Structure 1
Amino acid sequence: MCGGVTFNHSGQDYRVFFPNPNAVLPVRMKNGSHLLLPWGRRREQSGSLPVGGWARLDSVYSGVWDKYFPTPVKIDVSSFMEKDYEGKSRWFDLLPGKYIQGLVAKNRNEQRIYVVTMEPDSTMAEFHDRMPRIMFG
């Protein structure tokens, strides 16, 4: 379900895991620059956006997220981590030109990014019941 990512921002390498309340994800802007946004919301964090760090693709399509004015974005990471059914962390590299689809949700002055997830393809089904949606350039 994408519990961690690695990326480079402004020449610094990051390894970020969702449980960290300071977790951020890099959004690739249309001009090629990056913006770091808070990754989801944890129960202990204030705010009114949904708790969690993920948005199921089917819930996006069905309008569940509409009240948060969702904006689709590209999350620019070099790899992501999934925990398999036994709880072991597995890292997967993304090739250049591939991104994780994100959803930026907003409510008043609050803005957070959620990883869009979907049912896994055959290569990922052995690891988890959901996987991040991968996009091309």
Structure 2
Amino acid sequence: MCGGVEVAGRYTESGKPVRVYFPNPKAALPMLQADGSVEWLPWGRRQEQEGKLPATGWARVDSISAGKWARFHPREVWIVAERFMEKDPAGVSHWFDLEEGQAIEGLLVAAGEERRVYVVTSLPPPGCESIHGRWPLVRLAE
């Protein structure tokens, strides 16, 4: 389900790679902008956080297609990362590298002044079903 991402130093303030994990209430994800820069926005919303947007960090591709996110004015975005992490049923972390030019598909949504980005998920690729039943959509960044 993508519990974490590693972001390359070229996209961070420190210039060093950063790992971001969803359980951290301050977790934010870098979205690629048209000019090549990035904008960091909060990664979803946790149950205990204030806000009107869904309390989750993920958006299923089938729920997006069904219009369940429409009231939040969704916009497809690209999350730049070097790799992402999935935990298997035993709680063991597995890191998966993205290839050059790939990004994780995100869904940028808003409610009033609140803006957050959610990782878009679908079924896992063949051979990865035993790790987790939902997988981030990884595509070539457009």
The answer, yes or no, to whether TM exceeds 0.5 is yes
Structure 1 residue runs of 4+, over 6 Å off?
none
The reply to whether residue 134 of structure 1 matches residue 138 of structure 2 is: yes
Per-residue deviation, 1:64 = 0.2
The reply to whether residue 21 of structure 1 matches residue 13 of structure 2 is: no
The CA distance in 2 between the partners of 1:121 and 1:43, in whole Å, is: 29
Q: Percent identity?
A: 47
Q: 1:97 aligns with which of 96, 101, 108?
A: 101
- How many residues align? The count is 137
* Match in the other structure for 1:7: 7
Unmatched runs of 5 consecutive residues or more in structure 1: none
Counterparts of residues 1-137 of structure 1 (less than 5 Å): 1-8=1-8, 9-10=12-13, 11-137=15-141
For residues 31-64 of structure 1, the C-alpha deviation after alignment (integer angstroms, 9 at most, x for no partner) is 1110000000001110000001000000000000
**TM-score of the pair, normalised by structure 1:** 0.97
| Larger strand percent | 1
SS of structure 2 residue aligned to 1:117: strand
Q: CA RMSD in A?
A: 0.9
The CA distance in 1 between the partners of 2:53 and 2:127, in whole Å, is: 32
SS of structure 1 residue aligned to 2:86: strand
